[in-house]
A and B are shown apart, each in its own frame.
Chain A
Amino acid sequence: QVQLVQSGPEVKKPGASVKVSCKASGYSFTRYGISWVRQAPGQGLEWMGWIAVYNGHTDYAQKFQGRVTMTMDTSTDTVYMELRDLRSDDTAVYYCARLRPYYYHMDVWGEGTMAAVSS
């Protein structure tokens, strides 16, 4: 079945970086994009960006530009999201989701990765 499996929880100190992986299976990896959405405790959904797996194109939300990088490894059907210079308000659950290019809906979601930033 179609699924996205994410890496495990992370605890980081302020100023550090976190890199979350998202491994896809059950579909043609290069036909879709992968989007990253985060959700701080008790808050709503916040889109971070996406990577078009078929050509590597990325769009990042303005808020994260310069601090986030999304990459992919087509040999393992895995996408990575790295967020640098972490602050306490980056504490959140980070989701990857399969994104349909041009239509921009997200139809399959990973289970989420909790990343806590604390000194």
Chain B
Amino acid sequence: QSVLTQPPSVSAAPGQKVTISCSGSSSNIGDNYVSWYQQLPGAVPKLLIYENNDRPSGIPDRFSGSKSGTSATLDIAGLQTGDEADYYCGTWDSSLSAVVFGGGTKLTVL
């Protein structure tokens, strides 16, 4: 069981917007920055969002993140077939002194 809770899968049509949720607690999301990672099929994970809502250079602004209380969300607008991937949220857990991940969400672009 993952410390952070994500939906196992989401889907939407090309051009649409999708939201992926990540739920935690006061010792992790509530107390620390959230990051998001994209893992394309067969590829290495890639940092998508850091410090809740910042994007590394090269990440399009179609990807955005937010945090409220003990939950975080990743929004992907203008969906493309190339966005089909697994998405993971992650943060530090102050009680565990460990990085914790969500179980991952598989995005299907119909």
Contacts and interface: CB of A to CB of B under 8 A. Distances in A.
Interface of A: 35, 37, 44-47, 49-50, 59-62, 95, 97, 99-100, 103-107, 109-112
Nearest to B96: A62
Contact of A104 (B2, B32, B102): B32
- Interface residues of chain B: helix, strand, loop or mixed (majority): strand
- Interface residues of chain A: helix, strand, loop or mixed (majority): strand
Interface of B: 2, 32-33, 35, 37, 39, 44-47, 50-51, 56, 86, 88, 90-92, 96-104
Given A44-B88, A62-B96, A107 B101 contact: no
B43 to A, nearest CB: 10
Contact of B51 (A44, A47, A103, A109): A103
Contacts of B56: 107
